[in-house]
Amino acid sequence: MLTNFFRVFNFALTDFNRNKGVTIATIFVLVVIIMLATWLFIFQGLTGFLISQVQDKIDVTAYFKEGTFEEDILKVKSEILVMSPNIKEVEYVSQDKALEIFAENHQDSEVISKALEEVGSNPFLPSLNITTSGDPAEYEEIANILQTDQYADLVDNVDFYEKKDTIEKVYAITKNINIGGLILTAILVIISVLVVFNTTKLAVDSSKDEIGTMKLVGASNWFIRGPFIIQGAIYGIIAFVISMALSAASAYALSSKIAFILPGFSLAEFFTSNIWIFILIQLAFGAGLGMLTSYVAVRKYLKN
């Protein structure tokens, strides 16, 4: 068994070194495919970051009646967190905090500053800013809970219906982006398999005479197929090493430029924190595709 393995491995290395043109072409194609898959994953990371940024800015605000005690508002906060598990965050904003935020946002407007001075008292109500995963149905559920008789004495207004159109549009856009990402991934996988298969087939076709000779002397199908599968793995591993070096270099080189366009997103940090996913993707599209397509390409000659 071990002797056969070494023979198969030696055949694979011989073919690998002999067909240098096909070898370089196959590795080049695999590197291109791997880099496309890598940047598709990075693109999904970028869109995911953008979606989360937008969703975090979409919320529903429950305004409480003037004079409502803080402990009562915090009690409502605890209760809706239990009743609505889809809530991501609930922020309590007191009257003083609301006034402070408003004044800070309009500090350059003399008209608003004078209007606040003339009002004299704090015109703002205490509130809870509620954020979910972005599904309009989740926001509507929370609004309905807060507008029941249970909270009628405390809650003055919930602004869900004023924001409903915006929430639905944002949710539809993010949903379409996610679906588009899945479709792109499926298309890439299909194209990758076809391109790598046809490239690998060239390497197998160049060895058809050797395959015929091995069949004539009674070699088993696995003995014939083995060198090509090992070749596919070698192609993939070399392509993986090249692609990983290119990915790391481009991630760190472009990190500052992308951070300038998307503040808060670090491409270098994204690459580092997802390093094992990058390795898995690149090995799957490199060694995995190389071995799989080699296995399939040899079948044609084994059937003859």
CATH of the domain at 103: 3.30.70.3040
| DSSP 8-state symbol, 65 | P
Domain-terminating residue out of 163, 189, 213: 163
Domain-terminating residue out of 163, 186, 217: 163
Over 125-140, what HEC string results? CCEEEEECCCCHHHHH
Residue-number span of the structural domain to which 182 is assigned: 2-54+171-303
Residues 117 and 31 in one domain: no
34-71 pLDDT tens trace: 888 888 888 888 888 887 777 777 788 899 888 888 89
Q: How confident is the model at residue 15 (pLDDT cuts 50, 70, 90)?
A: low
Residues 79 and 199 in one domain: no
Residues 181 and 132 in one domain: no
The pLDDT of residue 117: 66
Total structural domains in the chain? 2
Sheet of strand 127-131: strand arrangement: 89-93, 127-131, 60-64, 155-158
Residues 41 and 186 in one domain: yes
The pLDDT of residue 244: 92
**pLDDT at residue 2 is higher than 60:** no
The pLDDT of residue 276: 92
Residues 126 and 178 in one domain: no
Residues 198 and 284 in one domain: yes
Where do the DSSP E strands lie in the chain? 60-64, 89-93, 127-131, 155-158
With CA atoms as reference, report the closest residue to 185 among 56, 285, 279.
Answer: 285
Domain-terminating residue out of 128, 163, 198: 163
For residue 47, what is the enclosing H or E element?
helix 20-57
Stretch 289-296: mean pLDDT, rounded? 77
Residues 108 and 32 in one domain: no
Residues 216 and 177 in one domain: yes
Residues 185 and 42 in one domain: yes
Residues 257 and 275 in one domain: yes
Residues 216 and 297 in one domain: yes
CB-based contact 231:294 (threshold 8 Å): yes
